Amino acid sequence: MAITMTLLDAINYALHYAMQEDKNVIILGEDVGINGGVFRATAGLFEKFGSSRVLDTPLAESMIAGLSIGMSLQGLKPVAEFQFEGFIYPAFNQIVSHAARMRNRTRGRLNCPVVFRAPYGGGIHAPEHHSESPEAFFAHVPGLRVVIPSSPAKAYGLLLSAIRDPDPVIFFEPKRIYRKVKQDVENNGEGLPLDRCFILREGNDVTLISWGAAVYDALGAANQLEKNGIDAEVIDVACLKPIDTETIIASVAKTGRVIIIHEAPRSGGVGGEIAAQIAEHCFYQLQAPIKRVTGYDIAMPYAQTEQYAIPQTAGIIQAVTDILENL
Amino acid sequence: MVNNTVAKFSIEYYQYLNAQGELINPTEKLPAWAQDFATLQEAYRMMVLTRAFDNKAIALQRTGKLGTYPSSLGQEAVYIGIGNALEKQDVFCPSYRDWGTQLIRGVTMGEILTYWGGSERGSDFQASTAKEDLPNCIPIGSQCLHAAGIATAIKLRQQSRAALVTCGDGGTSQGDFYETINISGVWQLHLVIMIVNNQWAISVPRKSQTAAETLAQKAIAGGIPGEQVDGNDLIAVQDRVSRALKKAHEGGGPTVIEAITYRLSDHTTADDASRYRKKDELAEAWQNDPITRLRQYLFLHQAWSENEEKQLQQICSEQVAKAVDAYQQQPLESPENIFLHQYATMPTSLATQRDEFLAKQQQQG
């Protein structure tokens, strides 16, 4: 039976399901136990599964990552929470130098099935370091998966698959839409593929490519564009590493126009990689230049001005109008 | 005002033999295991083998047959002591010059040469006793946290095993080292943290690494016991590590052991220690050679002879030569393997790159 849930609820349901399903799944992080996490993503797990499976750690992010790696090398499946994405940097060395490489380093003898979860992105008027979009750092690293859900159903299915996956996964949860949308989701343990983009809306005139919270802005833009007779296709990339370029290229080859939308700063963002793939594989099908609607190359502004750094529906519509006018 | 001492700490230092191989306290009995000469002879053999291996590896590097190589010259008592103290079911988490221990764990000389010869195959340990052991860890100190994670798994599963990690004196300046001490104390982990203090982190001497009088005392801040042992005294090392492991197996919590030794070699074959280290210091350190010390002890107790020494040297160099032959006959790493182990299942995007690569390889013949 389907349950109406928020994205945050979906994370919680998936964690409950995964822990029930596999006794090797261990939750660890700061305040994840009796407090249930600062966003309550791990609520109820401590009560249900006890202190040997839900571990409140000392306050040290590199430790959370390094510990998870060691635990995974003994066959456990740690799901580690970083309280905010902006606090993941001390763990960068552990994730990049070890979690991502242990399989290759040992020619498959050892592997690190760890999920590194973190709330992600801006839009909740939080202090500095609580509103970042660091996905490009991780999407550059061989051996990692980078997954960002955009809805309750995606969060549920993708998190379950991430936990079941034998390789390390960075799982960023768009906190701006943690509680914004509700959706009916079957709590049936079904995972979603980690190697495919999702086409959320089919269209013929332009492809809007996005992930995380920005997907809603893309969908909002598509709805308004429809009123102007413009038929937009919307792709939720969801898995940024490894990325499903086939779906993206097929869509752009069909529509001939593409807008890539992400909250992270533009330079070196994953949008650049997507643009390059499109240019390499369907340049001759393009009817307009590739365009990006992204955050600027600035430190994420504080609460008073953060909305100026986050792509908005109006900006996406403007970008579409621009490339159509330039024909 | 109130002015009370609220806590006091001390660091013990352990040693049985002096540099001449004599018992420092002649009335004291050695631990039971060390009263058996056969056991000490075996440890001695492993120390000599480790040195023979190091010498040959450096020669191979100098003639272009091996990559950059970090010798363990002078540190043999530490590594053999650890190796002998570990039980099969324990997990060894090395730094990157720990062959002495690894050879005892069943890692082969061929695997070690393969690793330093530039192939990841060298860390695919085949011996069942080393299957769960970690590969070498190059980012300094970061392995400590992996050992803590392994020890966490052991504790959660209530197993009678432990993890043992080694790091150098330089490694104790890393945050990951401190974080390991901290978590192992809070969670009372089945863990032994070995600081192999060889006095030099490449060109930085121990005194420039920290103002702390000992490295062992860093344990105290994490609420766990720390101690020093003479790292050139095989008997002392093996005894202290065995005790710490036994305690860990029984759930008695972690221990930090600082083994005081000396890096008689350059940092690696890419280093030239004469740029920063005085000749006199090195000459003095040679007077404290761990292999000479144990041999002297055995000589003094008529448990070793010149003839046995000659035979051992011969056996070791033959053993090493055999491993080197096999290493040199081994085919080079196959190029397509660079793609194979990035993920359990190769992603489509990576398979495309591999196919591109293979096509190019074929074109070039």
Question: How far, in Å, are A133, A204, B22, B58 from residue B285 at the CA level?
Answer: 53, 77, 18, 20
CATH architecture of B12-333: 3-Layer(aba) Sandwich (3.40)
**DSSP string covering B316-335:** HHHHHHHHHHHHHHSPPPPT
Residue pair B9/B220 in contact by the 8 Å Cβ criterion: yes
Residue A51, pLDDT above cutoff 80: yes
CATH code of the domain in which A309 resides: 3.40.50.920
Instruction: Enumerate residues 6+ apart whose C-beta is below 8 A from B300.
Output: B21, B22
Task: Tell me, yes or no, whether A163 and A205 share the same domain.
Answer: no
Question: How far, in Å, are A197, A223, B202 from residue A231 at the CA level?
Answer: 19, 9, 64
Q: What is the pLDDT of residue A296?
A: 98
pLDDT tens for each residue of B150-171: 999 999 999 999 999 999 999 9
Task: Tell me, yes or no, whether A133 and A253 share the same domain.
Answer: no
Task: Tell me, yes or no, whether A278 and A301 share the same domain.
Answer: yes
Residue pair B194/B166 in contact by the 8 Å Cβ criterion: yes
Please give the Cα distance from A110 to A114 (Å, whole number): 13
CATH code of the domain in which A151 resides: 3.40.50.970
Which A residues, 178 through 217, put their C-beta within 8 Å of a C-beta on chain B? 195
CA atoms within 13 A on the CB side of A194: 28
pTM of the shown model: 0.97
Residue A326, pLDDT above cutoff 80: no
Distance from CA of B124 to the nearest CA of A (A): 5
A192: in domain: no
Residue pair B183/A70 in contact by the 8 Å Cβ criterion: no
A123: in domain: yes
Mean pLDDT of chain B: 97
Backbone angles phi, psi at B87, to 5 degrees: -90, 160
Cβ B349–A243 below 8 Å, yes or no?
A: yes
The total of other beta-carbon atoms located within 10 Å of residue A146's CB is: 27
Query: Would you call A313 helix, strand, or coil by DSSP?
Result: helix
Mean pLDDT of chain A: 97
Task: Tell me, yes or no, whether A262 and A163 share the same domain.
Answer: no
pLDDT band at B364; cut points 50, 70, 90: confident
Residue pair B153/A70 in contact by the 8 Å Cβ criterion: yes
Residue B99, pLDDT above cutoff 60: yes
- Tokens 């196959």 -> residue: B334
Task: Tell me, yes or no, whether A321 and A291 share the same domain.
Answer: yes
Q: What is the pLDDT of residue B260?
A: 98
A215: in domain: yes
List chain A residues with CB under 8 Å of B151: 70
pLDDT tens for each residue of B223-270: 999 999 999 999 999 999 999 999 999 999 999 999 999 999 999 999
Instruction: Enumerate residues 6+ apart whose C-beta is below 8 A from A116.
Output: A65, A68, A80, A82, A88, A91, A95, A99, A168, A169, A170, A171
Residue pair A22/A77 in contact by the 8 Å Cβ criterion: yes
Residue pair B142/A66 in contact by the 8 Å Cβ criterion: yes
Instruction: Enumerate residues 6+ apart whose C-beta is below 8 A from B146.
Output: A66, A69, A70, A73, A98, B93, B134, B137, B165
Residue pair A258/A252 in contact by the 8 Å Cβ criterion: yes
Domain end marker among A166, A186, A206: A186
Examine residue A242 and say whether the peptide bond preceding it is cis (omega within 30 degrees of 0). yes
Residues above pLDDT 90, as percent of chain A: 98
Residue B365, pLDDT above cutoff 80: no
Nearest chain B residue (CA) to A277: B349
Task: Tell me, yes or no, whether A128 and A166 share the same domain.
Answer: yes
Please give the Cα distance from A48 to A12 (Å, whole number): 12
Cβ A71–B152 below 8 Å, yes or no?
A: yes
Nearest chain A residue (CA) to B163: A70
CA atoms within 13 A on the CB side of A171: 29
List chain A residues with CB under 8 Å of B341: 103-104, 107-108
Query: Would you call B144 helix, strand, or coil by DSSP?
Result: helix
Catalytic residue among B97, B267, B293, B295: B267
Task: Tell me, yes or no, whether A202 and A162 share the same domain.
Answer: no
A11: in domain: yes
Domain end marker among A152, A186, A220: A186
A134: in domain: yes
Task: Tell me, yes or no, whether A274 and A220 share the same domain.
Answer: yes
Residue pair B73/B262 in contact by the 8 Å Cβ criterion: no
pLDDT tens for each residue of A133-192: 999 999 999 999 999 999 999 999 999 999 999 999 999 999 999 999 999 999 999 999
Residue A327, pLDDT above cutoff 60: no
A114: tokens are 């760890």
Q: What is the mean pLDDT of residues A197-214?
A: 98
- Tokens 């292999």 -> residue: B291
A226: in domain: yes
Task: Tell me, yes or no, whether A134 and A75 share the same domain.
Answer: yes
Task: Tell me, yes or no, whether A228 and A284 share the same domain.
Answer: yes
pLDDT tens for each residue of A256-271: 999 999 999 999 999 9
Could you tell me how many residues make up chain A? 327
The neighbouring-strand residues paired with B47 are none
B167: tokens are 């790091």
Residue pair B244/B225 in contact by the 8 Å Cβ criterion: no
Task: Tell me, yes or no, whether A113 and A209 share the same domain.
Answer: no
The neighbouring-strand residues paired with B168 are B196
Domain end marker among A123, A155, A186: A186
Residue-range definition of the domain harbouring residue A140:
2-186
Cβ A58–B347 below 8 Å, yes or no?
A: no
B91 CA to centre of own chain: 13
Residue B276 known to be catalytic: yes
Task: Tell me, yes or no, whether A177 and A264 share the same domain.
Answer: no
How many domains does chain A divide into? 2
A191: in domain: no
Q: What is the pLDDT of residue A1?
A: 80
ipTM of model over 0.95: yes
Please give the Cα distance from B191 to B193 (Å, whole number): 6
Which one of A104, A197, A240 would you mutate to disrupt binding with B, by most B Cβ within 10 Å of its Cβ?
A: A104
List chain B residues with CB under 8 Å of A67: 145, 148-149, 152, 183
**DSSP string covering A47-92:** HHH-TTTEEEPPS-HHHHHHHHHHHHHTT-EEEEE-SSGGG-GGGH
